[in-house]
């Protein structure tokens, strides 16, 4: 159980960091390649709010849901092995 719990959180945090990096690179690429007219009309605060909202979802909600799912799959695997 110790190894299972440690591996679950290790995979969760590693996946969360990788997803955040990929999301940041894609969002930055899209914003930097946007037409100047769009950058003039959209306030910088709205862009920053969108960035933070997306990263909050990736870092907390999705990571916790995947960790819970991975916990259940690994728990099932441990039960099958013990049986």
For tokens 């946007």, what's the residue? 34
pLDDT at 5: 74
What's the average pLDDT block by block, 10 residues per block, for the chain (83 residues)?
77 81 87 85 84 77 79 86 88
Residue 29 confidence (pLDDT): 92
pLDDT the model gives residue 45: 86
- What is the rounded CA–CA span in Å between residue 75 and residue 30? 40
* pLDDT value of position 20: 80
> What pLDDT score does 80 carry?
93
**Domain ranges across the chain:** 2-82
* Residue pair 1/78 in contact by the 8 Å Cβ criterion: yes
How far is 55 from 63, CA to CA, in rounded Å? 11
Task: Tell whether pTM > 0.85.
Answer: no
Phi, psi of 14 (to 5 degrees): -65, -45
Containing 65, the helix (H) or strand (E) segment is: helix 63-82
């Amino acid at each position: 159980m110790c190894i299972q719990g440690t591996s679950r959180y290790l995979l969760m945090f590693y996946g969360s960091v990788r997803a955040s990096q990929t999301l940041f690179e894609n969002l930055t690429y899209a914003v930097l390649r946007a037409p100047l007219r769009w950058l003039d009309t959209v306030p910088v605060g709205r862009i920053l709010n969108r960035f933070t909202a997306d990263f909050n979802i990736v870092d907390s909600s999705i990571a916790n849901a995947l960790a819970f799912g991975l916990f259940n799959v690994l728990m099932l695997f441990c039960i099958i092995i013990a049986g």
